[in-house]
Structure 1
Amino acid sequence: MTLKDTQGLDAIDRKLLGLLSEDAEQSYATLGDKVGLSPPAVHERVKRYKASGRISGVTAQLDPMMTGKPFLAFLHVDTTGWGKSTAMMELRDLPELEEIHSVTGDTCMLLKVRMQDSKAMEALLKRLYDMPDVVSTKTYVALSTYLERPVQAGITEF
């Protein structure tokens, strides 16, 4: 009998999900060789992950430099009231905006943006300050990125 954790995943599930997060284009045969399952068994597990929502989609990772977006920044946005306003959520349509988070601490919202340059950042800041609920912002420009990856399947026991 295979032990499952509180999320209903066993060790093979975690390994398989980890392999898929590294390269989702691997064949079921290749994945099966790596986790000790037959290709049909891997296929069944992947179908189950998709049906349950554990795998919510498969995307291509684009190179920021090759897409003309080498400027990475994080913005703390303070608003009056709760930050998740209709206007703030409409920003999700901007291709420069990669993430929006409601956070605790000394700010309301945390935005991850990737764009062409500081001029584009200035234009985004102007757009933010044109919103009636935005009180202030703090911008943190990333000089270098040492680790950026999708959600990982593994769990560290502390």
Structure 2
Amino acid sequence: MDKLDQKLLKLLQKNSRMSISDLSKELALSRPSVSERLHRLQEKGVIEEFTARVSLPAVGRDILLIIQVSGLKVSPQEFESMVKQKEDIIECHRVTGDVSYFLKVAVANMERMRILIDSLMPYGTINTSTVLASPVPYRYTLPQDFSE
């Protein structure tokens, strides 16, 4: 991946709706060259998908939680299958250490939070933290050696 690919990634992470023409101007490349680079980055799996980042409070999910699950009472496969079905769980990470999983959860209210926590309790020990603020809510990701 060269510096132009890295700059392309940075531009797309800032605004994935940038047109090929706008990307072409920013990168000082022809539109076919930009299209080819985009296609190659997708084929290599560097660009996984194009998506919209949605404001959780704007869609009525005002409470953000981090839930730690430890002492798992079922197989990881069974637990992971279950969490994939829970729409309030927006991220699930299996980790090393004393905790088995970290879940990022967005719920509309305390009742939804209670229902979700109650549904998780049979699977292991649950420790819930409410997010008060997110000083780094999202960060653009580039290769470690990229500097600009």
Please give the TM-score of this superposition, normalised by the length of structure 2: 0.88
Unaligned runs of 5+ in 2: none
Which residue of structure 2 aligns with residue 101 of structure 1? 93
Compute the displacement of 1:54 (Å). Answer: 1.2
Matched pairs, number: 146
Which residue of structure 2 aligns with residue 118 of structure 1? 110
Which residue of structure 2 aligns with residue 11 of structure 1? 3
Aligned to 1:93, the other structure's residue is in SS state: coil
Which residue of structure 1 aligns with residue 49 of structure 2? 57
Aligned to 1:143, the other structure's residue is in SS state: coil
Which residue of structure 2 aligns with residue 143 of structure 1? 132
Q: Pick from 80, 84, 87: which aligns with 1:92?
A: 84
1:44 aligns with 2:33: no
Distance in 2 of aligned mates of 1:81 and 1:15? 46
Alpha carbon RMSD of aligned pairs, Å?
Answer: 2.0
Which residue of structure 1 aligns with residue 22 of structure 2? 30
Distance in 1 of aligned mates of 2:92 and 2:140? 16
Q: What one-letter code is carried by the residue in structure 2 that aligns with 1:143?
A: L
Tell me whether 48-57 or 11-20 shows the greater mean CA deviation: 48-57
Aligned to 1:34, the other structure's residue is in SS state: helix
Q: Rate the CA distance shift 1:92–1:75 in 2: closer, same or farther, 3 A.
A: same
Unaligned runs of 5+ in 1: 1-8
Determine if contact 1:82/1:108 at 8 Å carries over to the other structure: no
Please identify runs of 4+ aligned residues in structure 1 that moved more than 6 A. none
Determine if contact 2:10/2:140 at 8 Å carries over to the other structure: no
Compute the displacement of 1:104 (Å). Answer: 1.7
Q: What one-letter code is carried by the residue in structure 2 that aligns with 1:141?
A: T
Identity of aligned residues (%): 25
Please give the TM-score of this superposition, normalised by the length of structure 1: 0.83
Q: Rate the CA distance shift 1:156–1:147 in 2: closer, same or farther, 3 A.
A: farther
Determine if contact 1:21/1:150 at 8 Å carries over to the other structure: no
Q: Rate the CA distance shift 1:148–1:154 in 2: closer, same or farther, 3 A.
A: farther
Instruction: Please list the CA deviations of residues 80-112 of structure 1 after superposition, one character each: whole Å capped at 9, or x if unmatched.
Output: 478623133321122211111111222111111
1:71 aligns with 2:79: no
